[in-house]
Amino acid sequence: MTDPSLHPAAEAAAARPRTLFDKIWDAHTVKTLEDGRDLLFVDRHILQETTSAQAFENLARAGRKVRHPDLTVATQDHIVSTRPGRDEDTNPGGRELLGLMRTNTAANGIRHFGVDDPRQGIVHVMGPETGFALPGCLLTCGDSHTSTVGGLGAVGLGVGTSEVEHVLATQTLAMARPLTMRVTFNGVPGPGVSAKDLILHMIGELGFASGRGCAVEYAGPAIRALPVEGRLTVCNMSIEFGARLGLIAPDEATIDYVRGREFAPTGGAFDRAVAEWLRLHSDSDARFGRDFTIDCWRIAPQVTWGTSPQDVAGVDKAVPDPARFADAKRRELAAAALRYMGLEPGMPLEGIPIDVAFIGSCTNARLSDLIAAAAVARGRKVAPNVRALVVPGSMSVKRDAEALGLHRVFLDAGFEWRDAGCSMCVSINEDVVPPGARCMATSNRNFENRQGPRSRTHLASPAMVAAAAIRGRITDVRKETAA
Amino acid sequence: MRTPLSTVSGVLAVLPETNVNTDAIIPSAWLRTAKADLARGLFGARRFDEDGRERPGFVLNQGPFRTAKFLLSGENFGCGSSREAAVWALAQFGIRCVFAPSFADIFYENAFRNGVLAGIVDEATGAALAAAVERHCDAPDFTVDLPAGVIVDPDGHRHAFTVPPHRAAALIRGDDDIDLTLRHLDDIDGYFSAAKRDRDWLYTPTTDTRRQTP
Ligand code: SF4
């Protein structure tokens, strides 16, 4: 039986098996434009201070208004001081942009969770934890790691400032439909292996440009077994292999996570939402443009040795010899990376001394990350030559951690216990790695100069960074937990 | 309206590297203010040493390349963060077109939105262009003919680049994306009314007072 009201093309589309990504994308397509791009409705928009000032300025210059101020929220995260008790003036270098954020949002009727608000935090931490980001929604933010919300089963699109302006003015985004890709994680990861290790390992296996142009769905038992915070970590790093976004189908764990959050629907509306969220999964016969499998059994805790996230290995391995890469370009890149990092081929990764340990960022500064780090740090001391920082991803994470007494664990061990912000992930506030110093970090980028001029970055999980802080050198956390 | 881009002549500078990331194009130190001199910040850490002195080895510090209008680079240009300031820095420096075998997605979008052409050239074309620059390093004057989709080198040889036709047309017209979208306002409002009905739970994120300050 066919429904006569259905146009034949629409009927065919409805019958065609679709991926999770297709379902969300289709539901948000206002229309397809003449140039082939889709005009997408943006349900949720988050602003951060370093990519929005220009957008408001252009908007005002063109005499345009914010169309749906209630569908946007703003926070201050990148350039805020993380000194405990800080305010907008603590980091003088941040004053201008922080002030602009406050005045621009006030002038346009947009809710602003600035440093004086209990909800302040890194956009990608604050979005899910306030319930502003929801499963099945399409969310944009002027920040590349917006893909983080994919961990809830949302489409998160990182955009530039012109597009921030476009969303403010029209509540839409014009974009070509990405290709689809799926990565299935099979098996059960061993002890000491976290969500961060899974995604770092995957980027090492597939290469750092392997996701370009793609919407990537993460699937398989190892992904299903991850708590929602771990899924946010995995989707966060989609950007580090070039993907446009990453996402994971919502399930009971997702629903439990969302329930009761400030902006989440309540009562009957919540039930209607849940009914829809549970339909958000790829049809069993849906086809993906590309399909990969990762075996999780043998993944060791990961640590990067170079200046690209694909320069990664198990902590029990040695710094690779660039000459052994088959690809000539990769050989060159790896050799340059080792020169920058001050490492020699064949050196065991374990034992490389560090100067700074950074636990923070939108990748790994949620409560579960701090719990994992505290488990390693408890009752021990940071090595004397190491500066170690814990920067919670949001003030809400900070309060929750303090309720569990984690701040005592960190402070007693000699870690700094700071206020929320991006901090040493991007180092545009005053948290900077000194020139030539080596930092073990839970963030997502190990580019040259990222954490400060000539800074050297090793990416790893929170437990691994805590272990390195204690030992003063890169350490296999599996040995620590066994001890 | 943006400044239209159609046929432009100028110097082509070559940055023969892959994976030039946006942190390199505009270091984060230049993002601390809305009014930074981004032209000076372009490739900041590569162009200047820690005391602000020029590094003579960097291409944009050399002879005619100081006024380059075109940049040729390697694969995956513009990877890393979404900072649009990377494109603003290029544009403020005077770069109108960037050519590479591939671009990172967000950079690619940002370029066109700011009237900067991101043209794709295959490896062989890239090598031929680099050789032409080498031969004419005193006066590496090229012409980019966007309607024809070619770069004309100082010897008059034509090198093809790829750009989707709709993007080329938008650059030539100087289209403003917001103006274009606002023409579809009826469709957008129609979508929103229907979506609010179908997904009533999604469009009421207004419970600001339910759980205020702890
Ligand atoms: S924590 Fe780092 S990656 Fe995340 S939003 Fe901030 S600067 Fe970007």
Domain count, chain B: 1
State pLDDT tens for residues A168-207: 999 999 999 999 999 999 999 999 999 999 999 999 999 9
What pLDDT band is residue A482 in, cutting at 50, 70 and 90? low
pLDDT at A2: 37
Domain count, chain A: 2
Domain boundary among A138, A153, A175: A175
CATH of the domain at B85: 3.20.19.10
**Nearest residue on chain B to A245, alpha-carbon basis:** B105
Q: Is A37's pLDDT higher than 90?
A: yes
The two three-digit tokens of residue A229, written as one number:
């915070």
Domain boundary among A175, A207, A225: A175
Q: Is A265's pLDDT higher than 50?
A: yes
Q: Any idea what the Cα angle at residue A6 is, between residues A4 and A12, rounded to 5°?
A: 120
B105/A39 Cβ within 8 A: no
Alpha carbon distance, N-terminus to C-terminus of chain A: 66
B204 touches chain A (CB under 8 A): yes
In a domain, A18, yes or no: no
State pLDDT tens for residues B147-157: 999 999 999 99
Instruction: For residue B110, give the nearest of A43, A64, A162 by CB distance.
Output: A162
pLDDT at A30: 98
CA distances from A269 to A252, A409, A460, B22, B155 (A): 17, 41, 40, 42, 69
Instruction: For residue A166, give the nearest of B32, B177, B200 by CB distance.
Output: B177
Q: For residues A217-222, give the mean pLDDT.
A: 98
State pLDDT tens for residues A3-31: 434 455 555 556 789 999 999 999 999 99
Kindly give the distance from the C-alpha atom of residue A422 to the centroid of ligand 1, in angstroms, as a whole number: 5
CA distances from A273 to A195, A265, A428, B208 (A): 27, 8, 39, 20
The fraction of chain B above a pLDDT of 70, given in percent, is: 95
In a domain, B80, yes or no: yes
In a domain, B213, yes or no: no
Q: Is B204's pLDDT higher than 80?
A: no
Domain boundary among A125, A143, A175: A175
Residues β-bridged to residue B9: B143
In a domain, A252, yes or no: no
Kindly give the distance from the C-alpha atom of residue A421 to the centroid of ligand 1, in angstroms, as a whole number: 8
In a domain, B186, yes or no: no
In a domain, B1, yes or no: no
In a domain, A269, yes or no: no
Q: Which residues line ligand 1 (CB under 6 A)?
A: A 77-78, 122-124, 143, 145, 361-362, 422, 425-426, 443-444
What pLDDT band is residue B95 in, cutting at 50, 70 and 90? very high
Q: Which residues of A297-310 are buried (b: 16+ CB within 10 A; e: fewer)?
A: eebbbbbbbbbbbb
CATH of the domain at A156: 3.30.499.10
In a domain, A34, yes or no: no
In a domain, B196, yes or no: no
Closest CA to A467 of A451, A453, A479: A479
In a domain, A473, yes or no: yes
Taking residue A418's Cβ as centre, other Cβ atoms within 10 Å add up to: 22
Q: Is A111's pLDDT higher than 60?
A: yes
In a domain, A197, yes or no: no
Which residue stretches of A404-450 are H helix?
Answer: 406-413
In a domain, A116, yes or no: yes
B178 touches chain A (CB under 8 A): yes
Asked whether B117 and B96 are in contact (CB, 8 A), the reply is yes
In a domain, A227, yes or no: no
Kindly give the distance from the C-alpha atom of residue A113 to the centroid of ligand 1, in angstroms, as a whole number: 17
Which residue range is the domain that position B145 belongs to? 10-163
Which residue range is the domain that position A354 belongs to? 304-482
Complex confidence, ipTM? 0.92
Q: For residues A285-303, give the mean pLDDT.
A: 97
What pLDDT band is residue A283 in, cutting at 50, 70 and 90? very high
Instruction: Identify the sign of the CA torsion A465, A469, A474, A480.
Output: negative
Residues β-bridged to residue A458: A440
State pLDDT tens for residues A370-412: 999 999 999 999 999 999 999 999 999 999 999 999 999 999 9
Q: Give residues 83 to 122 of B whose Cβ lies within 8 Å of A.
A: 83-85, 87, 102, 104-106, 109-110, 113-114
The fraction of chain A above a pLDDT of 90, given in percent, is: 93
**Nearest residue on chain A to B50, alpha-carbon basis:** A453
pLDDT at A5: 41
Alpha carbons A339 and A334: distance in angstroms, whole number: 9
